[in-house]
Chains A and B, each alone.
Chain A
């Protein structure tokens, strides 16, 4: 049976891991490669690096982090932030990433998903989807680091992106991000029902029960968390043992 994945997320700027609340108010969480090695040892199933400022200068620092991570960890990792072209994607993959997350670049130019998917295979194209609830049961896609409401329904964009070739969705609720009051279960369940690719739920993990909830009720395939792990409030093993005791399949090491 396939196991549910626990994924620490490393939001990065200028080569450092930071963590914010609702995409602002960032605090420093340390060196990315050191954290990556620690999480690999702790039994993380995957890692996600997001370059949250994505300037040209940061791009080279990011690629260096990708290279060093690839040499030091033996689990898969994904990279996102500022991916605008097949060439951007190629650089990240060539430096050792396994998957690439596209967000604003793909929203503005949906062909990017098709091109990347045709070239590298859909298994390495993740649609990174940042959303906010606009009214009950309806979520819109936000781009530019969560700053711009596109007015487009998250469900519709998710379906379109999958039909274009996205192999996985990293679904972040801006409403719950960094609030530590639990994942957005309704949102995750809704997207998961509407597309046939794995969903990584993100935003809001604050306590161990939240992980159970997002798998059991939210139908997520993977759950992503940042501050909980970075600031040592929970270890990955604690989360996995808790899930295992409640019959959620997980990989224990």
Chain B
């Protein structure tokens, strides 16, 4: 069972629809019991970092998530769900979950903000996660902010948008994408399928 974390933000339904299409058993939940029992967790997200953290705290999900991640549970953070893993975000000067050391910065005004559309992910290393996905595939992005991990070795893929930023990272049991695999057509479906196989 995969649990999609319900923190009152984001496109939970889209992620659920995608898992349904792949025939994966999943539920949307905010219950501690469900989250602890899950084989894998997905933290989706559209919205602001400040609101995201506030909602996680109000539901007492922040500590539960950090615990589950520390225990080694497979975790997928999508878009805001990636940014919330970091130490802090420039967006509303928010302290985040601090599971990954680093900051979240805003794109410069030299590019159109938000970034909306399909952009190429340049894969740095090989992984089962990208099995059957053509090299340099494009994925769907919607973001005004991007992540800067202190430890560059965590960066699994980069994307160019005014700056070259980390669009996917892998740290042990954590996988986090700035793009939306659930909205990225066939390659996105394949990526989620590959992620499920890691369980």
Binding site for B on A (CB under 8 A): 1-5, 40, 43, 45, 70-71, 74-76, 93-96, 98, 120-124, 167-168, 196-198, 221-222, 251, 253
Contacts and interface: CB of A to CB of B under 8 A. Distances in A.
B21 interface: yes
Contacts of B112: 196-198, 221
Contact of A2 (B14, B46, B117, B188): B117
7 contacts: A2-B141, A5-B117, A45-B140, A76-B140, A96-B14, A251-B118, A253-B185
Contacts of A196: 109, 112-113
A197 B116 CA distance: 9
Given A40-B185, A75-B183, A98-B14, A1 B160 contact: yes
A123 B161 contact: no
B29 interface: no
A98 B44 CA distance: 13
B117 A197 contact: no
Nearest to B51: A121
Given A94-B13, A121-B47, A3 B119 contact: yes
Nearest to A121: B47
B117 A3 contact: yes
A3 to B, nearest CB: 5
Contacts, number: 91
B123 interface: no
B18 interface: yes
A1 B160 CA distance: 5
A5 B115 CA distance: 12
Q: How large is the interface on B (under 10, 10 to 19, 20 to 34, 35 or more residues)?
A: 35 or more
B144 A123 contact: yes
A95 B119 CA distance: 26
B185 to A, nearest CB: 5
Contacts of B113: 196-197
Contacts of A122: 114, 144
Contacts of B143: 123
Contacts of B21: 71, 74
B140 A168 contact: no
Contacts of A123: 46, 114, 116, 142-144
Contact of B11 (A74, A98, A253): A98
B194 interface: no
Give the most central of B14, B161, B182: most A CB within 10 Å.
B14
A1 B165 CA distance: 12
A76 B17 CA distance: 13
Nearest to B184: A74
Contacts of B160: 1
A3 B184 CA distance: 13
B116 A167 contact: yes
A45 B142 CA distance: 13
B117 A124 contact: no
Contacts of B17: 70-71, 96
B31 interface: no
A198 B117 contact: yes
A2 B118 contact: yes
Contact of A71 (B20, B116, B180, B189): B20
A45 B117 contact: yes
A221 B189 CA distance: 25
Interface string B171-199: 00000000010111110110000000000
Give the most central of B117, B140, B161, B186: most A CB within 10 Å.
B117
Interface in B1-26: 11, 13-14, 17-18, 20-21
B140 A75 contact: yes
A253 B188 CA distance: 12
